[in-house]
């Protein structure tokens, strides 16, 4: 019987097989052999024994005790992952995921979204939604109570996201709640106290739960023109009579306090659990001495080891949601809308570009793009399947996503999120290695390689929009930062494309993230900025990582100059200052951090932000 | 572009955030130095002839493993949009009579220029300032201007020349910076204060830790107080 099954698989040229299909083939053999009266009903997912055993074993420290609650969540994640691959997604998508041609993120929590934003203005008006959005608490009448609500709301939202929760314009929207009118800047010690409470409330749980995922706070270094005339909402969600533009000085002072308190860490939870800080920099901020002071202090904090990210916004429109949710098409409208700035990304599917390249002979760019076409179609099909699932679970007041999608009765306002307004992400990994295979040169080695990379991204950008439009989905092309997906792709490619992979990666156990230059490439800061900047322009989100410790002797003034260069002369979206990330051993350090995160809550940069188990601890990697 | 009359280039740093604070600068290192500082951070640039080359007997340099000037200028030119300026360092760049030609070419790229000097060639420095070929000069001091200087420089030094260079910069309206190399095994707190008096009125003084100590046999010295010297900027001129 076993031979019979193997022969069937051989005839079908199937190299990997899902448990349910295998079970069905066994049934077929039993039936043909007369050992089974009728096929047994096979509903639900089968989880392989080794996956169960792995879920019950500590990953980071062999032999260490695994809390039963964490083990149960992991196992639940394994079951849901198997279920999603067997039942939710089309078979060709599931096969492509299992074979490593692409990576569907968040399979362990298929009913969750990829990334969410928390709108502070909406929270001011509506209070914190209760179970099913039916029993909201009262809108807060003072800043301290409001910050407690921010903590509660962000913890709630983190349960619905697999990658992260962003709080757009945190300093600007909190400023109207500070005592006094818009022209009064409270004393620095008072601001630091409020900053401390904000950071404390937004901190994640140490480890082991979905709430361990981080919250990102966006701090605006200026008041963008589109937000300046928006009425400021104060205590109880009432209009203060002033505009957000009137809050500029208080907003900036609060941002400086948040940076200072975050850098000192005094009395705060462990650093790994603290919220990420994204400082949104526009053109005006670069020319304003007060904004530059904030930037200088943030860069000084980065030099002392505080992870700081700078989002470069060149057109004056703040992209809400920090890393993932830059949504340039509708931002202007959203910013002005009541309770705006709460976009979300529903799902990300990351494409294995090196694999697509390895399937073509060197030089065959057209063949590579055809492979990419196939992958994009699969990724968008995965989005369509996920949308169907989300629509089901989001429906009705009792639905799993009800707090996000059901209108609050008390507030009577619009639902916190509209499924149709979400974006969908197609991520990429390993463009550098793909181009290296096709051209024989990496990005740092030739201008021609960057041109080919830009051409590929331009093509992919159009392709994902086109394929998304066919399903009425807003799909964007992003640089994926998932270290787990990168390592999984590289591991699976070693089996079938060992020679090509060794040529393209020189034996590294992972691919370069997104459209970045290889971290250990012999390229200086300017070359990296210039070359990655030309590629970032084709992506919705991408991160330029800069390790201050790799620039010995550099001062905050020097980093500020580098920031200005990046802003004015490149298309870089975001610079992430990550101490220790730029050294040649970066990938190793990041992988280690991902592992450590499960055990002790460690968090370094975005390497662990893959929307999978390492990030949210809810069921292991995909 | 005439490239034959340019000074010998021993190294190129395509971008730096630290050699000219507040600017992104390329750094061109010229070959050859007239000092033999024990803690020199770039000893390979000290010989007038690079490895594989030789002096021609007249003080000139026969190229060995030097970097072709054309390649250096190409690299700088291709990055001129991202660069603010170019720092010409050494070695001692003022040893080379053809330095003005190099600076002129770099200026023609639309870039600002800075020269890092040890101050021993005041006449050459005056010519550069008069010709308005530099936007900034950084002068490195290694000890107070007394007998200790020869110890710090590893050779006999014309202290009068350094004095004239210091006075030249203090009296010049252009940008300048004094960089004081601090080696605790050589300098005392009093030495630093004496240096502070020497450069009193300077626009900017940077304390720079010695690259590495090879001043064998000299005991460590205590500066007193708790402040460190590790690269922090201090305005000694105001002290």
User: If we measure between CA atoms, which residue out of A349, A432, A347, A346 comes closest to residue A101?
Assistant: A349
Residues of B in contact with A302 (CB under 8 A): none
- For residues B32 and B54, the answer to whether their CB atoms sit within 8 Å is no
A68, A346, B161, B168, B201 from B126: Cα distances, Å: 78, 67, 12, 7, 19
- For residues A183 and A257, the answer to whether their CB atoms sit within 8 Å is no
Give the 3-state secondary structure of residue A429. strand
- Picking from B22, B82, B212 by the largest number of A CB atoms within 10 A of its own CB, the best residue to mutate is B82
Indicate whether B3 belongs to any domain.
no
Q: What is the pLDDT of residue A459?
A: 97
Range of weakest confidence among A68-82, A381-395, A438-452, B193-207: A68-82
Residues of B in contact with A555 (CB under 8 A): 17-18, 21
Hey, CA dihedral for A221, A222, A224, A230, is it positive or negative? positive
- From the number of C-beta atoms within 10 Å of its C-beta (0-12, 13-18, 19+), residue B27 rates as buried
Residues of A in contact with B22 (CB under 8 A): 557-558, 561
Q: Under 8 Å CB-to-CB from A108, ≥6 apart: which residues?
A: A76, A77, A78, A80, A81, A162, A612, A613, A616, A618, A619, A620, A622
- Picking from B13, B14, B15, B208 by the largest number of A CB atoms within 10 A of its own CB, the best residue to mutate is B15
How many independent structural domains does chain B possess? 1
Q: Which residue range forms the structural domain that includes residue B31?
A: 9-238
Look up the ipTM and state it.
0.74
**Looking at the predicted structure, is the pLDDT value of residue B214 above 70?**
no
Q: How far apart are CA A308 and CA A556, in angstroms?
A: 13
Q: How far apart are CA A214 and CA A202, in angstroms?
A: 8
> Would you give the DSSP letter of residue A542?
-
What is the distance, to the nearest Å, from the Cα of residue B16 to the centroid of all Cα atoms in its chain?
Answer: 15
Strands, E assignment, A2-143: 102-104, 113-117
The answer to whether the CB atoms of A558 and B18 lie below 8 A apart is yes
pLDDT tens per residue, range B194-209: 999 999 999 999 988 8
Q: DSSP per residue over A199-250, as a string?
A: HHHHPPPSSSSGGGS-EEEEEESS--TTTTTSEEE-GGG-EEEEEGGGGHHH
> Would you give the DSSP letter of residue A485?
H
Indicate whether B29 belongs to any domain.
yes
Q: Which of B21, B22, B82 sits opposite A565 (nearest CB)?
A: B82
Give the 3-state secondary structure of residue A233. strand
Report the greatest alpha carbon distance in chain A: 86
> Would you give the DSSP letter of residue A452?
H
- For residues B233 and B204, the answer to whether their CB atoms sit within 8 Å is yes
Residue % of chain A over a pLDDT of 70:
78
Q: Which residue has the higher pLDDT, A63 or A548?
A: A548
Range of weakest confidence among A50-54, A355-359, A601-605, B65-69: A601-605
Q: DSSP per residue over A244-282, as a string?
A: GGGGHHHHHHHHHHHHHHHHH-TTPSPGGGSPEEEEEE-
Q: Where are the alpha helices (DSSP H) in chain B?
A: 69-78, 99-108, 122-130, 148-153, 159-171, 189-198
**Looking at the predicted structure, is the pLDDT value of residue A8 above 60?**
yes
> Which architecture characterizes domain A345-616 according to CATH?
Alpha-Beta Barrel (3.20)
**Residue A427: φ, ψ to 5°:** -95, 160
pLDDT tens per residue, range A220-257: 999 988 888 889 999 988 999 999 999 999 999 999 99
Residue % of chain B over a pLDDT of 70:
79
Q: What is the pLDDT of residue A26?
A: 78
Q: Which residue has the higher pLDDT, A15 or B111?
A: B111
**Looking at the predicted structure, is the pLDDT value of residue B15 above 60?**
yes
Residues of A in contact with B231 (CB under 8 A): 553
Distance from CA of B57 to the nearest CA of A (A): 38
B230 in contact with A at a CB cutoff of 8 Å? Answer: no
Report the greatest alpha carbon distance in chain B: 55
Q: What is the pLDDT of residue B211?
A: 66
Indicate whether B2 belongs to any domain.
no
Give the 3-state secondary structure of residue A302. helix
Hey, CA dihedral for A593, A598, A603, A609, is it positive or negative? positive
Q: Which of B18, B22, B24 sits opposite A565 (nearest CB)?
A: B24
A316 pLDDT band (50/70/90 cuts)? low
The residue length of chain A stands at 622
- For residues A478 and A425, the answer to whether their CB atoms sit within 8 Å is yes
A:B CB pairs within 8 Å: 44
Residues of A in contact with B83 (CB under 8 A): 526
Q: What is the pLDDT of residue B166?
A: 97
Q: Which residue has the higher pLDDT, A399 or A414?
A: A399
**Looking at the predicted structure, is the pLDDT value of residue A126 above 90?**
no
CATH of the domain at B185: 3.20.20.70
Q: Which of B23, B83, B231 sits opposite A553 (nearest CB)?
A: B231
Q: What is the pLDDT of residue A209?
A: 53
Q: Which residue of B has its CA nearest to A548?
A: B17
Distance from CA of B154 to the nearest CA of A (A): 26
Residues of A in contact with B14 (CB under 8 A): 524, 526-527
pLDDT tens per residue, range B55-93: 555 445 555 578 899 999 999 999 998 999 999 998 899
pLDDT tens per residue, range B110-160: 999 999 999 999 999 999 999 999 999 999 999 999 999 999 999 999 999
Distance from CA of B122 to the nearest CA of A (A): 29
The answer to whether the CB atoms of A526 and B22 lie below 8 A apart is no
Indicate whether B17 belongs to any domain.
yes
Rg (CA), chain A: 24
Q: What is the pLDDT of residue A129?
A: 60
**Looking at the predicted structure, is the pLDDT value of residue B231 above 80?**
no
Q: Where are the domains of chain A?
A: 1-43, 116-336, 345-616
Range of weakest confidence among A74-78, A127-131, A339-343, B156-160: A339-343
pLDDT tens per residue, range A58-105: 665 666 667 777 778 888 888 888 889 988 999 999 999 999 999 999
* Structure token digits, residue A402: 């009800």
**Looking at the predicted structure, is the pLDDT value of residue A427 above 60?**
yes
- Picking from B24, B84, B177 by the largest number of A CB atoms within 10 A of its own CB, the best residue to mutate is B24
Residues of A in contact with B18 (CB under 8 A): 551-555, 558
User: If we measure between CA atoms, which residue out of B17, B238, B33 comes closest to residue A555?
Assistant: B17
The answer to whether the CB atoms of A526 and B17 lie below 8 A apart is no
């Amino acid at each position: 019987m076993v031979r019979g099954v193997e022969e069937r698989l051989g005839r079908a040229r199937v190299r990997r097989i899902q448990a349910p299909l295998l079970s069905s083939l066994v049934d077929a053999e039993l039936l043909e052999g007369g050992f089974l009266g009728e096929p047994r009903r096979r509903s639900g997912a089968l989880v392989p024994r080794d996956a169960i055993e792995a879920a019950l074993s500590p990953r980071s420290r062999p032999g260490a005790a695994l809390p039963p609650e964490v083990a149960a969540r992991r196992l639940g994640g394994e079951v849901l992952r198997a279920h999603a691959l067997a039942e939710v997604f089309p078979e060709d998508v599931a096969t492509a995921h299992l074979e490593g041609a692409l990576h569907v993120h968040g399979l362990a929590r298929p009913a969750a979204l990829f990334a969410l934003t928390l709108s502070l203005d909406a929270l001011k008006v509506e209070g914190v939604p209760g179970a099913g959005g039916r029993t909201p608490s009262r809108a807060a009448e003072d800043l301290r109570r409001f910050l407690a609500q921010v903590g509660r709301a962000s913890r709630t939202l983190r349960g619905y996201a697999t990658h992260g929760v962003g709080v757009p314009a945190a300093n600007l929207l909190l400023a109207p709640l500070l005592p006094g009118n818009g022209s009064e800047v409270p004393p620095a010690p008072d601001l630091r106290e409020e900053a401390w409470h904000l950071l404390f409330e937004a901190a994640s749980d140490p480890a082991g739960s979905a709430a361990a995922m981080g919250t990102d706070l966006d701090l605006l270094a200026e008041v963008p023109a589109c937000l300046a005339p928006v009425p400021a909402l104060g205590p109880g969600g009432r209009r203060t009579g002033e505009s957000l533009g009137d809050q500029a000085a208080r907003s900036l002072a609060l941002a400086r306090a948040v940076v200072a308190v975050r850098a000192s860490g005094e009395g705060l939870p462990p650093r790994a659990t603290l919220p990420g800080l994204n400082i949104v920099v526009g053109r005006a901020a670069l020319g304003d001495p007060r904004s530059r002071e904030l930037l200088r202090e943030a860069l000084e904090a980065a030099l002392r080891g505080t992870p700081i990210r700078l989002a470069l916004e060149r057109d004056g429109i703040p992209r809400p949601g920090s890393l993932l949710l830059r949504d340039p098409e509708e931002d202007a409208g959203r910013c002005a809308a009541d309770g705006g700035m709460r976009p979300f990304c529903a799902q990300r599917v990351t494409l294995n570009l090196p694999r697509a390249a390895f399937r073509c002979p060197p030089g065959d760019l057209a063949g590579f793009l055809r492979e990419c076409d196939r992958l994009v179609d699969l990724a968008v099909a995965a989005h369509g399947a996920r949308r169907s699932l989300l629509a089901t679970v989001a429906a009705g007041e009792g639905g799993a996503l009800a707090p996000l999608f059901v209108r609050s009765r008390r507030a009577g306002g619009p639902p916190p999120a509209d499924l149709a307004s979400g974006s969908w992400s197609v991520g990429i990994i390993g463009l550098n290695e793909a181009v290296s295979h096709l051209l024989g040169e990496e990005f740092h080695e030739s201008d021609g390689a960057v041109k080919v990379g830009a051409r590929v991204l331009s093509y992919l950008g159009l392709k994902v929009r086109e394929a998304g439009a066919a399903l009425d989905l807003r799909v964007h092309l992003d640089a994926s930062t998932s270290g787990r997906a990168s390592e999984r792709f590289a591991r699976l490619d070693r089996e079938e494309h060992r020679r090509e992979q060794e040529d393209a990666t020189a034996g590294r156990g992972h691919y370069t993230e997104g459209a970045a230059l290889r971290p250990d490439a012999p390229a200086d800061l300017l070359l990296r900025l210039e070359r990655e900047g030309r590629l970032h322009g084709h992506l919705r989100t991408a991160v330029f990582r800069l390790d201050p410790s790799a620039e010995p002797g550099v001062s905050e003034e020097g980093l500020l100059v580098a920031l200005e260069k990046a802003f004015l002369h490149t298309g870089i979206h975001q610079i992430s200052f990550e101490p220790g990330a730029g050294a040649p051993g970066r990938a190793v350090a990041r992988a280690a951090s991902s592992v450590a995160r499960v055990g002790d809550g460690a968090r370094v940069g975005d390497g662990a932000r893959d929307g999978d188990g390492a990030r949210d601890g809810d069921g292991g990697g995909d | 572009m005439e490239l034959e009359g340019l000074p010998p280039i021993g190294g190129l740093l395509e971008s730096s955030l630290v050699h000219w604070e507040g600017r992104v600068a390329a750094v061109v290192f010229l070959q050859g130095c007239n000092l033999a500082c024990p803690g020199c951070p770039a000893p390979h640039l000290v010989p007038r002839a690079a490895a594989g080359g030789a002096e021609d007997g007249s003080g000139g340099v026969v190229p060995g493993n030097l970097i072709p000037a054309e390649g250096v200028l190409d690299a700088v030119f291709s990055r001129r949009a991202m660069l603010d300026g170019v720092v010409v360092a050494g070695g001692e760049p003022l040893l080379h009579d053809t330095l003005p030609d190099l600076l002129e070419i770099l200026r023609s790229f639309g870039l600002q220029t800075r020269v890092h000097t040890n101050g021993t060639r005041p006449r050459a420095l005056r010519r550069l300032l008069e010709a308005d070929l530099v936007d900034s000069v950084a002068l490195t001091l290694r000890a107070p201007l007394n007998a200790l200087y020869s110890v710090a420089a590893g050779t006999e030094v014309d202290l009068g020349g350094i004095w004239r260079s210091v006075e030249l910069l203090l009296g010049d309206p252009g940008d300048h910076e004094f960089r004081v190399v601090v080696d605790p095994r050589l300098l005392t707190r009093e030495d630093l204060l004496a240096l502070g008096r020497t450069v009193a009125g300077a626009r900017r003084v940077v304390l720079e830790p010695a690259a590495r100590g090879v001043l064998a046999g000299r005991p460590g010295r205590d500066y007193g107080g708790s402040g460190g010297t590790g690269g922090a900027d201090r305005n000694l001129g105001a002290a």
